[in-house]
Structure 1
Amino acid sequence: MLVPRGSWLFPTCVLCTYGFFANLRPSEPFLTPYLLGPDKNLSERQETSTSLNNVLRTLWKDFLHCYSSRTLLCWSVWWALSTCGYFQVINYSQGLWEKVAPSSHSDIYNGSVEAVSTLLGAVTVFVIGYIKISWSTWGELLLALFSLVIAITVYIMDIIGNIWVCYAMYVLFRTIYVILITIATFQIAANLNMECYALVFGVNTFIALALQTLMTVIVVDASGLGLDIFTQFKIYAGYFAIISFIFLVSGLFHVVKNCQRKRGTPESVET
């Protein structure tokens, strides 16, 4: 019986079919018996260690190869550090707004602010795609500049005590982060083989979440410092300021080194 395309049954059948074939691994049930066959001369323990060691060696080799690139390393470090801070801000911004303007005494527009910040971030990313910038030369300095702007927005959000200022700074904060994380994703992907995408993005995300967990335990949790929401946001602002300082120093070093190399190239050719 044919399923009509206009009904909900068609996409449901397509998704079920896709899920079935995506998870179908016909050779997997026969892999271990094949490797343990008499002609392979492997015990079950040898086959499982051998397989695990090969996987770990390959992952470690790919890891060292990927992160040996200075460009990829810089963008990955920014990715991990900034994503940690970003998650902290968006996770606890609602608590900050509740302190600034309690929902029991005033109108709240938290959902609208989230929607506006998401839409504005998407539009801005689209526009940024038409701006030509040498990210290989100026990328680290721009990361330093925008990380400083993020630090300022978080600090203003914390100290002003006006809900509309909080909303505006939050929209600016999210917009800048979305722009930078999109550029970082592109720069990392451009310096990678497609086979290493999952490894690098997985490692970067894992580090970001590990740092976020550590920061939550130290700053927020009662077993740590258990700081109030306003002090927390001062720490988040200082955290982004530290990120800005790190990339300012690294970026200046990189630019100076490039200038010295360019200045020294003609002399070396004449020599």
Structure 2
Amino acid sequence: MSRSSEAAGGSSGLIQVLRMLFDDFVQCYRCRPLLAWSVWWALATCGYFHIINYAQVLWQDIHSSKGYEIYNGYVETLSTLLGALAALLVGCLPVSWARWGELVLWILSLLMAVCVFIMTLQENIWMCYSSYVVFRVVYMLLITVATYQIAANLSMQRYALVFGVNTFGALLLWTLITVVVVDSAGLGLNVFTQFRIYGYYFSVISVIFLLAGLYRVFSRRTNEEVLTQVHPESSTFSNGDCIGG
């Protein structure tokens, strides 16, 4: 076999692999529950990276380590332990995530936004510490739920694809925001202004899932009414969840 034939065969194989990956990508993200949780995963993880990366800088500006005793390490440890505990206990929460997932994401994303805004209060380091702990606990609880909900709508062969795409999206968005907001080549804003922007960022996330949740609730009610009219004997309605086979 000539080298040109081998090259043509290799290119054809690569194209087939890429086409298969693209088809899997489209089929996975057609699943509405998976898409919703994946969007939250990418958006919230991006914001979470910004908060944990620059929290120490914020605390230093609020409460300088020069001449004062600081408790940053204790706060990080406490938030990690409480977040791990929340992740362990998430199965005990009496929430139907398939039915009310988007609305829960709205409420808790709004709580995360409030925590970030409170962290910008320059007068009280303890309020900042407390808000940081609550923020991390809520994130670790929700990211655990998101991981389960995404996996529940996937076949095992597609785990790497979906979680890889979600993580790549989070890191890409994190890089863009860093360049625009933090880096001196962009706006180069001070840390307090940065955190206010992150607060607005989580507020936007909460609005997105408020609208998604309301749409889901009203569309389900409409479909249930239509189904009842067509088949009065039917008392159940499929929620449209999907499994990537």
Give the structure-1-normalised TM-score.
0.83
Match of 2:111 in 1: 149
DSSP 3-state at the match of 1:210: helix
State whether residues 90 and 145 of structure 2, in contact with CA within 8 Å, keep that contact through their aligned partners in structure 1.
no
Instruction: Name which structure has the greater RCO, CA cutoff 8 Å, separation 6+.
Output: 2
Moved more, 49-58 or 208-217: 49-58
Q: Aligned partner of 1:176: which letter?
A: V
Structure 1 gap segments, 5+ residues each: 1-35
DSSP 3-state at the match of 2:170: helix
Residue 205 of structure 1 pairs with residue 167 of structure 2: yes
Residues 67-119 of structure 1 show CA distances to partners (whole Å, capped at 9, x for unaligned) of 00010000000000010000001100000000000011211111111111111
DSSP 3-state at the match of 1:159: coil
Match of 1:17 in 2: none
Alignment equivalent of 1:93, drawn from 29, 33, 55: 55
CA separation of 1:121 and 1:266: change in aligned 2, threshold 3 A: same
Match of 1:190 in 2: 152
Instruction: Quote the RMSD (CA, aligned, Å).
Output: 1.6
Q: How many residues align?
A: 233
Match of 1:53 in 2: 15
CA separation of 1:270 and 1:119: change in aligned 2, threshold 3 A: closer
Q: Aligned partner of 1:155: which letter?
A: F
Taking the aligned partners of 1:160 and 1:102, their CA distance within structure 2 comes to 11
Match of 1:32 in 2: none
Q: Aligned partner of 1:165: which letter?
A: M
Q: CA deviation at 1:51?
A: 1.7
Larger radius of gyration: 1
Match of 1:106 in 2: 68
Q: Aligned partner of 1:211: which letter?
A: L
State whether residues 120 and 195 of structure 2, in contact with CA within 8 Å, keep that contact through their aligned partners in structure 1.
yes
Match of 1:169 in 2: 131
Q: Aligned partner of 1:237: which letter?
A: G
Q: Aligned partner of 2:80: which letter?
A: T
Q: Aligned partner of 1:94: which letter?
A: Q
Taking the aligned partners of 1:181 and 1:215, their CA distance within structure 2 comes to 21
Residues 192-232 of structure 1 show CA distances to partners (whole Å, capped at 9, x for unaligned) of 01000000000000000000000001100111111010000
Taking the aligned partners of 1:238 and 1:177, their CA distance within structure 2 comes to 16
Alignment equivalent of 1:138, drawn from 64, 78, 100: 100
**Matches of residues 236-255 of structure 1 in structure 2 within 5 Å?**
236-255=198-217
Identity of matched residues, %: 52
Residue 265 of structure 1 pairs with residue 227 of structure 2: yes
Task: List structure 1 runs of 4+ shifted beyond 2 angstroms.
Answer: none
Taking the aligned partners of 1:122 and 1:155, their CA distance within structure 2 comes to 24
Taking the aligned partners of 1:132 and 1:42, their CA distance within structure 2 comes to 62
Match of 1:11 in 2: none
Taking the aligned partners of 1:80 and 1:228, their CA distance within structure 2 comes to 25
Match of 1:128 in 2: 90
Match of 1:232 in 2: 194
Q: Aligned partner of 1:75: which letter?
A: W
Alignment equivalent of 1:220, drawn from 173, 182, 203: 182
Residue 179 of structure 1 pairs with residue 141 of structure 2: yes
Match of 1:82 in 2: 44
Structure 2 gap segments, 5+ residues each: 234-245
Q: CA deviation at 1:128?
A: 2.0
Match of 2:121 in 1: 159
CA separation of 1:258 and 1:160: change in aligned 2, threshold 3 A: farther
Q: Aligned partner of 2:220: which letter?
A: N
Match of 2:242 in 1: none
Q: Aligned partner of 2:226: which letter?
A: G
